[in-house]
């Protein structure tokens, strides 16, 4: 896989970028990573990444995956996506600054511009969260 600046793959810009790298892409899944920094928009005063930040990280991971395929197809700009629905969100813990999150995105279905994805996030070798999302791209 080629190394690509994340800002080529997603439309978000600082301070809301919630993916550092697209680490792996296969046909129906991708893996991303994010180091949680103290200045992250979604970090609470106690140094933990809030649940909203975990959801945004998973959504941006899915968008980075879509952006990769759009770039492969010749697009000049990353696609814009919107979270349509978050289902079955399970937060096992809120990770601390300094942790590196690893997220696996699996495409479960696509129809009429709506993509159903499953996101599974871990950090320090333990589960952080998992969810299903409907994303409109």
Question: 10-residue block means of pLDDT along the chain (137 residues)?
Answer: 82 94 95 97 97 97 94 90 94 98 97 94 97 94
User: What backbone phi and psi angles, to 5 degrees, belong to 62?
Assistant: -65, -40
What pLDDT is recorded for position 1? Answer: 59
Pairing of strands 21-25, 100-111: unpaired
Strand-pairing partners, residue 91, are: 129
Give the contacts of 29 (CB within 8 A, at least 6 positions apart). 104, 105, 106, 107
Strand-pairing partners, residue 31, are: 24, 104
pTM tops 0.85, yes or no: yes
Dump strand ranges (E) for the chain.
Answer: 21-25, 29-35, 82-91, 100-111, 114-123, 126-136
- Is the Cβ–Cβ distance between 118 and 108 less than 8 Å? yes
The Cα–Cα gap between 120 and 26 comes to: 16
């Amino acid at each position: 896989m080629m190394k690509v600046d994340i800002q080529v793959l997603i439309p978000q810009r600082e301070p809301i970028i919630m993916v550092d790298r697209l680490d792996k892409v296969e046909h129906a899944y991708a893996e991303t990573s994010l180091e949680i920094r103290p200045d992250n928009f979604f970090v609470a005063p106690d140094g933990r990444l809030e649940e909203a930040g975990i959801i945004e990280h998973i959504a941006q991971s899915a968008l980075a995956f879509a952006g990769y395929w759009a770039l492969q197809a010749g697009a000049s700009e990353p696609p814009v996506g919107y979270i349509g629905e978050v289902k079955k969100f399970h937060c096992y813990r809120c990770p601390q600054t300094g942790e590196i999150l690893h997220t696996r995105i699996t495409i479960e279905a696509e129809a009429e511009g709506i993509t159903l994805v499953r996101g599974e996030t871990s950090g320090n070798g333990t589960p952080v969260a998992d969810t299903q999302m409907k994303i409109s791209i």
